[in-house]
Structure 1
């Protein structure tokens, strides 16, 4: 029986890496007496796979881990046991039975992810400042700049891959976005076919905003772009992953559903 665990990661544990999260769940499974299946051979290990490893320093409300069970266990009981066996910083939210086919693993079907992007306090415009922008702060009109940036038909950037560097258009990989208070909600492509990290979107925006500012002041855009990229970058924001999705649409029509919704409660 295959099952999918949804969990959140927050607080101090946002600074542990993917391998540490895997070891954490291995210990939790043992302590909680979850009937998880093991591989065969001379060095058996728990059968588990994550939909998409979370970067160090990111919090999340929607992480997914697929496991294989040797026997059924009630979803609510499993969640209770795992949370009692765990520590603050990782909270199991649900456990659901999923389809047995290999092609239905979270890693395989992942198609999109939601993020909440928040500027850090130190880069926000200073209240009451006469300066519209500076090399180490966002412009007072940064939201309008971002709206114009997202309104472009194309957002071309050089993207580094494992083997080479190629120009890509980010705009088709951004499915939705909106301002939520002082933060940006964004839904982007995720998975093996297409994958867009939110920090690349913000890096590209900051370079674009730097050039716009430079043109307004009649300075060299390249010089301004360099100054902005050195002091402001994707790390000037905090990123929180909110949810992950599969695409059940047909004939080119996108229909995103949460990975959690593809499973059912075990009673």
Structure 2
């Protein structure tokens, strides 16, 4: 059976890196006696995969990992048991049974929502920025850097009361970081801030041309299975 878990990462836990979070949840599952399936071979490991690494220092209300289990508690019991083991700053928000043919979150993820807490940009700044014919930035890789147009990868951007909401392409095929969008916005407006706070709100896959939250795949479990 495949399970998808959604969790939040807040407060000081934003400084914990991706690999440490993987190891953290492996320990939490063992301590919570969640019946996670293990791989075979000389070095068995829990069958668990995370949707996408979160940059260190970024908060989140919408992180996901998938895991295979031999048996499972109900959604309510599983969430309670896991959260009993969680430290402050990490909280499981949903626990769903996936269809047998569901691909893992890492493979299907195609977009994400972010919120950038800042008060320096106006509605006119955002409108002028996104209405440009192109938004060219220098994108650096390990081996080189090149100029790319990121406008097609910004699906939505708007000013809200305490910051900026951004929906952007994020996944294995196309991947845009919100920090790069903000850098481009700074260059356009000639404004800057040293106290941005970034928060990932949710992640999406694409079905029939529409973005679907990873949390909308699968179903809650009413009673123990297995």
The TM-score normalised by the length of structure 1 is 0.79
Q: Report the secondary structure of 2:25's partner residue.
A: helix
Q: Report the secondary structure of 1:104's partner residue.
A: coil
Residue 258 of structure 1 is aligned with which of 213, 219, 226? 213
Residue 202 of structure 1 is aligned with which of 172, 176, 182? 182
Residues 90-119 of structure 1 deviation map (CA, whole Å, 9 limit, x = unaligned)? 000111111334x71100100110001112
Tell me the equivalent position of 2:6.
6
Does the CA contact (< 8 Å) of 2:126 and 2:157 recur in 1? no
User: Which structure is richer in relative contact order (CA contacts within 8 A, separation 6 or more)?
Assistant: 2
In the TM superposition, 1:182-221 aligns within 5 A as 182-210=162-190
Tell me the equivalent position of 2:131.
151
In structure 2, stretches of 5+ residues that fail to align are: none
Tell me the equivalent position of 1:22.
22
The TM-score normalised by the length of structure 2 is 0.92
Q: Report the secondary structure of 2:39's partner residue.
A: coil
Q: How many residues align?
A: 222
Tell me the equivalent position of 1:130.
none
Distance 2:144 2:207 in 1: 32
Greater helix percent: which structure? 1
Residue 116 (str. 1) matches residue 115 (str. 2): yes
Tell me the equivalent position of 1:83.
83
Residue 201 of structure 2 is aligned with which of 242, 248, 253? 242
Instruction: Answer with 1 or 2: which has the greater Rg.
Output: 1
Q: Report the secondary structure of 1:194's partner residue.
A: coil
Alpha-carbon distance, 1:143 to partner: 4.1
In the TM superposition, 1:42-81 aligns within 5 A as 42-81=42-81
Tell me the equivalent position of 1:214.
none
